[in-house]
Structure 1
């Protein structure tokens, strides 16, 4: 793997030019795409993505929505004790939080059975995905992933000169690991696995994925995005993080945005080989983007399990309610082990979004496999009832 000779300043300059100024604010790429598509009145957010795309939502202010079910947020968080820790530490916001960040890194390293030098902190896991894309694809190359998959890393890699090689999920919605392994060649820079997968919510068998990672990582790095792993049936028992401590060239990303309910507090981390962490740190410092109060909130949340268990139970109940509704109404859906579900809609995506936003419900709509889909996040039971009522009115 070719090592970059770019300095941090040269890299940021290159990234700013390549991404039209967005490289300095990777977490804003989706929001910028929405604003641009709405202004230009385009059908899709990313017109250059042929096999997978997202429909442009109508302009709508969040206070006008009765149910915000579009970003896979946890409606129950953050945990009360974590929120208290955040509030108490606001008053030390005049100081840099390196000590508290290092304490959190040590906690995570112990939890994941790796060295603190194998942890990269960042404001959310999407930030990590995008920074990895910028580092790995600044000189081109291919990224291999599922079709469909979470597009953050893929879109940024394409923006800086990479190419996307996608492989359709199997009929049971698992990754086609055999096809992806076969596709690895001398142009491949990275294999990206989102598990559980977004936007489908499906999970790939852990033992099959471990075998895949062990084999493929001998040729190229494998990035496993586990943003939703704690919400899956087996939870972190299905994680690939043990492969890192075994010495395999595997990266695993986690976030506090989902089961911990801290999407707005922005904190996540990457576990990987020390050489990989150093390579990323050569040109970007993820820890600089995290606030001290967020660090203390995450530290507090790691010490408690009760909130996480409650969250998983309530989200599972909302998912069962939604699944029963979809089955009753005849909608075809994909099996989910996350806090969202995706199902086919026999309706143009833009028209559907206009209708459902008009009923004060925010969801997402996608186009892939030549079909239109709605992805709905799991909210409170009251929010899910608002959603199903809106669906009844649209699909009479």
Structure 2
């Protein structure tokens, strides 16, 4: 169990600093939001902890334990992406960092140069530069500026959505397992999470999800491609689903990993938003663009929804740093760079598939930069043993079985995984 300090209070200034979410005072928030109070920091480094549900998922997808992980930044309200909410402390040299779904090939050379060049203007608030980035996104997607909101990664926007739509109760419907950041936050404000099991092929069961919607449903959440399974929803069925369902309740489509698909434009639901449907589409620069450490993302929705989300979401020039905006502006829609990242990622993924096959393992074919495969040993022990060999991984419980979700790294990292894996398989 995570160690906690005995002091259960937290002052307003520290709370705001921890969440980086609200621009107003606590007196402006509904009483139900007290359930979202950030946990006090851990006393010290611990060797075994119970990770926060927002970091690891729960119910159908729960990490039993992650021995050797730090409790730093583990508060459910930090706003960090779930994959970044914990950091492994592995004895010796970490040869392969394969637990956070990051882009190990890093930002583009153009983005890195732009960040360096921006330092001379570090004393300035980046209002004007952010307008340039937003204008660039809107021009490419054919959007009205009132349909876009940027923030420090997509997580603050997920939290803002939870507070905006479910602070007065109700329920959110999602697949299970899926990326649980938003529905978990809904539970923190006393809303209910209705979990609909994935189909046998680990894809969303849209029919069952639609049937699960009731009079108290305030939001439907779909992660496509799905985390942690790496599967995608049939595009035609998803568009039909959203057209019907969005007439009754908002649908949040999290497209964090969509840029890894061969043709993202054929899968995105942005066109549905432009047609007037009540959808919220989330995008991030944390994945293909390699800017996870800089924190920048955005949502696309109807102007009225953007206005509502703005009440509880840190957005605009106060939420984003100058280097983050500069890097995003320089690399946005940089096709040669994106194609190169995807080519390298596919090479590493192919190597992983072959490694698993040679050792007699199966896996879920993935459309993303991570892969799920079932283990033949207890999950916690597998993570510990791989950690001793310098390979950082994540273990999960899926359908009451032990699984591993491995992020796709550089080829040398995948080779390090293969060498360690062969010793245990």
Report how far residue 317 of structure 1 moved. 1.2
| 2:281 corresponds to | 252
Mind listing any 5+ residue stretches in structure 1 that lack a counterpart? 1-5, 23-28
- Post-superposition offset of 1:236: 2.8
User: Which residue is equivalent to 1:233?
Assistant: 262
Paired residues for 1:245-394 under 5 Å: 245-287=274-316, 288-302=318-332, 304-394=334-424
Structure 1, residues 337-364: CA drift from partner, whole Å, max 9, x if none? 0000011112222111111111111111
Check 1:185–1:11 CA distance in 2 against 1; reply closer, same or farther (3 A cut). farther
CA distance in 2, matches of 1:37, 1:129: 29
Match of 1:61 in 2: 89
Give distance in 1, aligned partners of 2:259 and 2:123: 34
The separation in 2 between residues aligned to 1:333 and 1:20, in whole angstroms, is 39
1:3 matched to which residue of 2?
Answer: none
8 Å CA contact 1:15, 1:21 repeated in 2: no
Please give the alpha-carbon distance, in whole angstroms, between the structure 2 residues aligned to 1:7 and 1:378.
37
> SS in structure 1 opposite 2:194?
strand
SS of 2:292's equivalent in the other structure is coil
Deviation by residue 1:162-200 (Cα, 9 ceiling, x = unmatched): 111111111222210000011111111110000000000
Considering fraction of residues, name the structure with more helix: 1
Which residue matches 1:183? 212
Deviation at 1:43, TM superposition (A): 5.6
Helix, strand or coil for the counterpart of 2:222? Answer: strand
The aligned runs of 1:124-143 (5 Å cut-off) are: 124-143=153-172
- CA shift at 1:7, angstroms? 9.8
Q: SS of the residue aligned with 2:186?
A: helix
Distance verdict in 2 for CA 1:235–1:357, change over 3 Å: same
The separation in 1 between residues aligned to 2:380 and 2:332, in whole angstroms, is 40
Secondary structure at 1:54's aligned position in 2? coil
The reply on whether 1:18 has 2:5 as its aligned counterpart is no
- Counterpart CA distance in 1 for 2:124 and 2:150 is 18
Task: State the Cα distance separating 1:13 from its structure 2 match.
Answer: 7.7
- Which secondary structure does the structure 2 equivalent of 1:204 belong to? coil
Q: Distance in 2 between matches of 1:300 and 1:236?
A: 20
Offset at 1:136? 1.7
Alignment of 1:204-243 (within 5 A): 204-243=233-272
> In structure 2, what is the equivalent of residue 171 of structure 1?
200
Instruction: Name the SS of the counterpart of 2:305 in structure 1.
Output: helix
Query: Is 1:162 matched up with 2:191?
Result: yes
Displacement of 1:8 in angstroms is 3.9
> Any residues of structure 2 matched to 1:75-154 within 5 Å, and which?
75-154=104-183
8 Å contact 1:96–1:292 — kept in the other structure?
Answer: yes
**Alignment: residue pair count:** 380
Say if 1:167 and 1:358 are closer, same or farther in 2 by CA, change over 3 A: same
Question: How much has 1:93 moved relative to structure 2?
Answer: 1.6
Question: What CA distance in whole angstroms lies between the structure 2 residues aligned with 1:297 and 1:41?
Answer: 37
Distance 1:250 1:266 in 2: 23
Distance 1:42 1:303, change over 3 A: closer
Tell me how large the CA RMSD over aligned residues is.
2.4
Asked if the contact 2:163/2:312 (under 8 Å) is kept, the reply is no
Question: Contact 2:32 / 2:190 at 8 angstroms: preserved in 1?
Answer: no
Aligned twin of 2:75:
none
Contact map agreement 2:49 2:66 (CA 8 A) in 1: no
2: CA distance between counterparts of 1:144 and 1:16?
Answer: 20
SS at match of 2:294: coil
Rounded to whole Å, the distance in 1 between the matches of 2:345 and 2:43 is 33
